[in-house]
């Protein structure tokens, strides 16, 4: 199959080859002092090559990948050019050693800014959280829908969202992702990812699709909204997944227009209620239990940018069918059942929402629970719909695991 005509062929990468000795020298012989992080694929080091700061990933040996296969993967990665994706600078093949050289992104990771320890670090404010959510969504949508072949990340998490000094996000660590032709059904593969972010179907069966990435992205949105980690300690010996904890609160946010127990207390009331309502709706749609009921990343981008209705965001769920409840995403699954009701009410509320929006940003009285614009978005979606209790035999629990490790951001 030939690439779609609107995509240019992969650029040559011969100019992006590096000598092993040069990379070793750039990192102080891969000194721990230059170690940025480590993960399942290898270690990442900071270095300077030709006057340019780079991040050098030294892949673990014994991966069973030949030179030809490695070069083919590098060629695919070299096609990826998007401002919200970390760029590949080049690579190195030296005996059994395989290294990838990426641009260096200086302002640490989303994980650091949300969950890092240490005093004196300011709270990640709402405008930056919103920018990170939208930019990350755009980068992931590009991998899924504008790359040939399609690239499935498999390890979307806060530690793989790098930030520049303007807090513009760059998705990292897709260098050893899963490539898939656009029309191919979900692929079975060895499970690679991080507990707390893994989509249930991927964790249980190893079957991966772009909707598995969507689930992980939804968990990351919950982190931005709540400020909580993907796995939380509920007691000395037990832990709970953020998704499981958040589900009833997402429902409450829609049905009662109340964010009080959901939003990161560090934000206090300093957030935009209209944007918060959108982020909550996207998170709830993305973490549905059933993969086919989750939206595509391009739908999430369009909804966050105001180009898509809640009804269209939830188009993957058939109104009135039990699959809605089986999806485990009660919040926006119920939203999707409103169909045309929202369409008519949208026309009446559109002007009011946007006129109020400029007055709400950063105003507490419009932020928490009582936000008028946020309430308008939710009311349009909710309509006359009453709460339905999910039958016990339809309930499914997201796997709960605890993993403590130093992870790679590339």
- Please provide the average confidence, as pLDDT, over all residues in the chain: 77
CA distance 266 to 68: 50
> Could you write out the DSSP letters of every residue in 18-57?
--HHHHHHHTTTT-GGGEEEE-SSEEEEEEEETTEEEEEE
Query: Tell me, what's the pLDDT at 22?
Result: 96
In a domain, 5, yes or no: no
* 278 vs 188: which has the higher pLDDT: 278
Residue 378, domain CATH: 1.10.510.10
Contact 147, 88 (CB under 8 A): no
Domain span at residue 65 reads 14-103
Contact 222, 287 (CB under 8 A): yes
Query: Tell me, what's the pLDDT at 65?
Result: 64
Q: What value does the mean pLDDT take over residues 1-16?
A: 42
Residues 135 and 94 in one domain: no
pTM assigned to the model: 0.75
The string of pLDDT tens digits covering residues 173-219 is: 886 655 554 444 565 556 777 889 999 999 999 889 999 999 999 99
Contact 266, 365 (CB under 8 A): no
Q: How many CB atoms lie within 10 A of CB 152?
A: 25
On the question of pLDDT at 109 being above 70, the answer is yes
* 142 vs 385: which has the higher pLDDT: 142
In a domain, 147, yes or no: yes
In a domain, 407, yes or no: no
Residues 202 and 65 in one domain: no
With cut-offs at 50, 70 and 90, classify the pLDDT of residue 238. confident
Decide: helix, strand or coil at residue 113: helix
Residues 77 and 99 in one domain: yes
With cut-offs at 50, 70 and 90, classify the pLDDT of residue 79. confident
Contact 290, 327 (CB under 8 A): yes
In a domain, 3, yes or no: no
Q: What value does the mean pLDDT take over residues 103-109?
A: 96
* 87 vs 336: which has the higher pLDDT: 87
Of 25-39, 206-220, 267-281, 350-364, give the lowest mean pLDDT range.
350-364
In a domain, 387, yes or no: yes
Residue 251, both tokens: 């429902």
Residue 42, domain CATH: 3.30.200.20
Query: Tell me, what's the pLDDT at 305?
Result: 97
Q: What angle do CA 163, 87, 165 make, to 5 degrees?
A: 20
Residues 154 and 199 in one domain: yes
Residues 188 and 258 in one domain: yes
Active-site residue (options: 155, 173, 210, 333): 155
Residues 61 and 135 in one domain: no
Q: Is 264 labeled as catalytic in the residue annotation?
A: no
Helices 273-286 & 340-360 angle (0-180, nearest 10): 130
Residues 57 and 196 in one domain: no
Helices assigned H by DSSP within 206-241: 210-226
On the question of pLDDT at 32 being above 70, the answer is yes
Query: Tell me, what's the pLDDT at 375?
Result: 58
In a domain, 251, yes or no: yes
CA distance 88 to 147: 15
Residue 320, both tokens: 């009135």
Q: How many CB atoms lie within 10 A of CB 268?
A: 12
On the question of pLDDT at 390 being above 60, the answer is no
Query: Tell me, what's the pLDDT at 284?
Result: 93
In a domain, 273, yes or no: yes
Helix (H) or strand (E) holding 104: none
Residues 142 and 45 in one domain: no
Q: Which of 71, 88, 103 is the last residue of a domain?
A: 103
Of 102-106, 150-154, 335-339, give the lowest mean pLDDT range.
335-339
* Domains in the chain, number: 2
Residue 4, both tokens: 């779609």
Residues 363 and 324 in one domain: yes
Residues 253 and 324 in one domain: yes
Query: Tell me, what's the pLDDT at 24?
Result: 97
The string of pLDDT tens digits covering residues 110-132 is: 999 999 987 668 899 999 999 99
Residues 99 and 128 in one domain: no
* 256 vs 346: which has the higher pLDDT: 256
Paired residues of 162 in beta bridges = 109, 170
In a domain, 93, yes or no: yes
Query: Tell me, what's the pLDDT at 189?
Result: 59
The string of pLDDT tens digits covering residues 305-327 is: 999 999 899 875 543 332 333 33
Residues 198 and 325 in one domain: yes
Q: Is 138 labelled a binding residue? A: no
With cut-offs at 50, 70 and 90, classify the pLDDT of residue 235. confident
């Amino acid at each position: 199959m030939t690439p779609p005509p609107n995509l240019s062929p992969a650029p040559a990468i011969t100019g992006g080859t590096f000598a092993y000795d040069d990379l070793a020298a750039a990192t102080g012989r891969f000194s721990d002092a230059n170690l940025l992080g480590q993960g399942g694929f290898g270690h990442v080091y900071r270095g300077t090559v030709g006057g340019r700061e780079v991040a050098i990933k030294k892949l673990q040996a014994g991966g069973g990948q030949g030179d030809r296969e490695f070069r083919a993967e590098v060629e695919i990665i070299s096609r990826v050019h998007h401002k919200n994706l970390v760029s590949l600078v080049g690579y190195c093949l030296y005996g059994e050693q395989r290294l990838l050289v990426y641009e260096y992104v200086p302002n640490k990771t989303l994980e650091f800014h949300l969950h890092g320890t240490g005093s004196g670090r300011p709270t990640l404010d709402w405008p930056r959280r919103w920018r990170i959510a939208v930019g990350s969504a755009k980068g992931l949508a590009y991998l899924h829908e504008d790359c040939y072949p399609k690239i499935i990340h498999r390890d979307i998490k806060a530690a793989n969202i790098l930030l520049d000094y303007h807090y513009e996000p760059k998705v990292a660590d897709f260098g050893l992702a899963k490539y898939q032709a656009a029309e191919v059904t979900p692929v079975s593969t060895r499970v690679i990812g991080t507990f707390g972010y893994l989509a249930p179907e991927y964790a249980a069966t190893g079957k991966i699709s772009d909707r598995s990435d969507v689930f992980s992205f939804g968990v990351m949105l919950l982190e931005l909204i709540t400020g909580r980690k993907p796995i939380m300690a509920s007691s000395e010996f037990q832990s709970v997944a953020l998704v499981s904890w958040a589900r009833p609160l997402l429902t409450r946010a829609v049905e009662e227009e109340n964010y009080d127990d959901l939003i990161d207390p560090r934000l206090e009331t300093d957030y935009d209620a209209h944007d918060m309502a959108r982020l909550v709706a996207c998170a709830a749609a993305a973490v549905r239990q059933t993969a086919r009921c989750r939206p595509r990343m391009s739908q999430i981008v369009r909804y966050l940018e105001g180009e898509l209705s809640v009804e269209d965001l939830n188009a993957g769920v058939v109104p009135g069918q039990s699959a809605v409840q089986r999806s485990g995403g009660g919040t926006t699954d119920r939203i999707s059942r409103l169909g045309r009701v929202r369409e008519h009410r949208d026309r009446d509320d559109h002007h009011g929402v946007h006129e109020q929006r400029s007055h709400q940003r950063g105003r507490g009285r419009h932020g928490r629970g009582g936000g008028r614009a946020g309430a308008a978005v939710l009311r349009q979606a909710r309509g006359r719909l009453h709460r339905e209790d999910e039958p016990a035999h339809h309930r499914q629990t997201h796997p709960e695991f605890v993993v403590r490790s130093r992870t790679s951001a590339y």
